[in-house]
Structure formats: structure tokens, C-alpha cells
Amino acid sequence: MTSCEKFLKEEFVSGIGYSYYDTESGIEDLVRSAYVPLRTWGGTANGIKMTCHGTDIWEYTNVSDGNEFHMYTSALNPSNSIFYNVWSDFYLGISRCNIAINRIPNVVGTGYLKDDAGKNARIGETKFLRAYYYFILVQEFGKVPLLLEENIGVLDEMKRAEVPDIYSSIISDLRFAADYLPATQTDVARPTQSAAQHLLAKVYLTRGSAVTEQRGQKTTDIDSAAYYAEKVIAFKGALLPNYDDARRNTNENNKDVLFAVQYTSNLLYDGNGNQSHLFYTVQYMTVGGLTLDNNYGQAWVRLRPTDYFYDLYDLKNDSRFYKQFKTTWLCNYASTIPTWSATYAPSPALVGKPKFAVGDTALYFTMNKDATTSQIESKSYTWRPRNKFTNRVFPEYQYHLDPFKASPSTSVGTLDFKLMWLSETYLIAAEAYGRKGDYPKAADYINVVRRRAAYKDGEIKPKQYYTYDGGSIADITKSTESSMEITTDKINSFEKLRDFILEERAREFCGDDERFFDLTRTETFYDRIVKYNKQCPAAVKTWHKLRPIPQNHIDRLKNAGPVSEEQNEGYY
């Protein structure tokens, strides 16, 4: 992988055997190749369908692609190619990691691998990747084969390991990585010590969160989650002061990003690119005065917020909604500008005249639900209050929009896909302390995230603040930090803490590949989908918390056991 100065360049080498991996150059190429399967996940339809579709905060848009994930139809089955795409590529990455981990100690090097420090750092790097791949696999599929040794042949006998054993292996890998990875990296694609500590804290929290499920949880897990999260916080320090500072597409490699899947504008190395820019967009081109534009996105319309999700925001005080969601489009196409009708024209002289000009507001969303047809049609632009949102036209999540891609019609995106955020480290620490019963400390960490999400003194709020959301124009530049802070009464029980953290994670990470994991980790998957997603309660089942083992994998097993041994409940 390569891009400008920051990505890892994978050299093409032909006519070589596995003995190449006994050399320093061979190992370095092998380690670089171990990153490639990340692009099967972050920034792809695979990752988004397996984490965002059919949750409590995202619903379907009547577009056929991916509806089995939204609606839990019979197409969500072992033959679905999405599952095998991730499964096969992740095991490819695991295999590459296993070879590197096995061979690095014996390599005679003159560069980075010339001494034990360099070798341990590279082993830590590959153990981090192996742990990440297994962490996704165990959360999605439950019991999976646990392959930790080098194997360069075809495997046709693989028994699924128990979930506790998989978590133990993940934690062992990450503890090594946390000990030996450097604090900073010249190549930003490579994980740092903070990334390993963050992921370790998250894994401990995931294992320790289990109440009815058996993940091998230990009484020390929550303490460990807090410990490693605080090590990251101590090193990285405060969050960037404005939510937009961390998220905007012109500030990719900032301090809040702990680890990301790297993409580039160089099509030779970018493959299919980051395609996240496609999935959250809306069909703005159906609105008069608008046509396809790189700044507005290519309208695939795959994900729409649920009503529950909209209701999570304090629109007066929480700046994240209007930063995350695009609510204003400027006219870029004169030929389709709508004209005034005789019924709603401000004066007879304007009947049949264009409502606006190129560069003026063409489409505008507000969150009020009570607008009448007369009020809507009398505006000099297309106004869509919340009671007029449709499956095609609604506020657009905009942090994945990619104005740097080659053309408005290409699907190959250039932006990195962020997998780990410093703000999540704060929420991991908060939840860990809350689960320990230290609610004041939990509130302190939550409030770091919430104060950052507030409007700052001097920051101009959007027009909706004083026209529809209940704010006063006199307060248009006043800070809302104190209003965003919570007190311990919001989180002073297990249920209140769990639910508040789930809500805060929805607000903070709504456009990241996280929600499925949030729900399954907290054992709220079924209940929250039934309660908050109005589209799929009848179809979703408790066993949907795990995905089907890919049939391609089962079919190649030489001595497969009974289907109940090889496949997850509900899929046979």
C-alpha cells in the first residue's frame, strides 16, 4: 500500500518461494501485505452491512442492495458472499501474520530488523493485526478456527475454537503489541503503542461486559479496560477542541485518530478505494436546481437514520448533529430550478419565475415535524422539515463525503477509514469506571467527550438553532459546554450507565462501523432493534446476534462434524 509519504508500499515480486520470507526484505514485504485485508472491511460495503445495517440507529431506504442485512431476510444465510469475503480475507491476513511471527526471530537483518528491538516491534505489529482480525471475527461469528502457527499448505481440517480461548489469544497478542510497539510511527499506517493499548482496553471491556454470554470473562477485565484506556489518555492528552477538527476530510492524520485503514488518490495502489462516501448519501439530484457534484456525493442511498436516532440529539446544545449531517445544498444546476406557482408566489410578478439562482440555497432540512404544505411551498427554496423526509431525501451524513476523488461519478474514494478514535478511549474509560461503581469518575470522562461536542464560545450556531430548535438568536455565539455536561444521576445504575453509553456512542460514532458491536457486546442487540427500528422487529431473531459461518468454509472441510458443530444456531 502506498500514498504520498504515509502509506506502506507493497513491492511486486515474482518468481519467488516461501524462502523469501527468511530474508529481511521478504519479511518487510510480508508485513506490509498483512495490512491489505483491512481494505476488505473498513470503507467497504462488507464492513458497513455487517455493522450498521439493521441496527437501532440505521434503517433501510428501499434500495435492494443490502436489504437482507437491514430486514433480516432469508438471504442472510451461509451462502451470502459478504460473510465469505470478510472471512477469507481476514484468514489470509492471519496467515501472513503467522508466517511473519514465526520467521522474524531468525531473520538476519541490517535495517529495521537488525536487533531485538526492531524484531519485537515488527512482531508486535503483526500480533496487533492478527488480534484485530480475530476480534472482528469472534464478534461477528462467535466460535471460529484459532490458527496461530505458520501453515503454507491448504487446510481442510479446522475445528472452531471456543470463544473464551479466542479472547485469551487476542489479549495475549495485544499485550505483546502494547509492550513492544513504538510510541510513534514514521509510517502512519502502522499501529502505535497507543493503538494497541486502546484495542486492548476495548477487548477487555468487551469480554468483561458479558453477563449471560460466556466470553471467558474475568473479574479483573473491567479494571484492565480502565487501566489501558487511561494509559492512552495520559499519553495522547486532550481531545481536539472541536468535533469537526477530528472528523473533517481535510484533517485526516490528526491526534484523535489512533488507527485507520489507509487509502490514497493513486489508483494504482487504491484498488476499489474507500467506498463509504457512497452509502450515506441521498438523492439530492431529484430536487430542482441540483445535479451530481463531488462535494455532495454519489447518491447510492443505503442508510437512513431511524427516528430514534434523530431523537438522541439535543439540537440546541450538541453541535454534532449539524456537523455530521448535511442540511443545506446550494444550487449548482440552472436548468432544473423550480418556478413560483400562482398559489404561493410572493407577488403576481414572480409567477413562473425561478425561485432561486445558481449559488443560492436549493435544498434545506430542518428537524421540526409540524410544517404545513403552505409553509413549505412559500419558501424560496425546497424545504424539507422532518415530517417531509423520505427514503430518498433526508439529511446526509457528510463526514465520508470525498471531494478529492477523481470525478463525481467514480466510486473509488481516497479518504482513510478510521477504525479507532481517542474519544472512544475516553468512553471506554468512562464505562469501565461506571461498571466498577465509580460513577463520578465515569461522568468526568463522559463529560470530556460531551464538552468537546458542545458549541464553543464564539462559534456561530446554524440558523436552525433559533428558527426551529428552540434557541435564541441572542445566544447564537454562546458556549453550550455547561449544558452538555451530565451529573452522576444520569448513570448511577448498571442499566442507566449502559443505556447512556450506548446513546453517547451513537452520537459520537454514528458513521463508523461500530453499532452492531455495541449492541452485541452489551447483550442488547435484539431488544433495542425491536424497540427502536420500526422496519424489522418481526424478522429479527435473538440468534441474529451472530452471523452464519460461510458455507464455502464448511464445504471444504475434510472431516466436518454435524451441522450444529460447524454452523451457528438459526442458520441450519
Q: Has domain 21-161+524-572 been given CATH number 1.25.40.390?
A: yes
Please report the pLDDT score of residue 322 as a whole number. Answer: 98
End-to-end Cα distance, the chain: 40
The residues spanned by each domain of the chain are: 21-161+524-572, 277-413
- What stretches in the chain show pLDDT beneath 70? 1-16
Residues 6+ apart with CB under 8 A from 270: 3, 263, 264, 412, 414
For residue 58, which of 308, 282, 232 has the smallest C-alpha distance?
Answer: 308
Residues 6+ apart with CB under 8 A from 101: 123, 126, 127, 130, 150
- Give yes or no for a contact between 365 and 384, defined as CB atoms under 8 angstroms apart: yes
Please report the pLDDT score of residue 15 as a whole number. Answer: 56
DSSP SS3 for 442: helix
Q: How far apart are CA 373 and CA 555, in angstroms?
A: 58
Please report the pLDDT score of residue 11 as a whole number. Answer: 52
**Each residue of 317-367: pLDDT tens digit?**
999 999 999 999 999 999 999 999 999 999 999 999 999 999 999 999 999
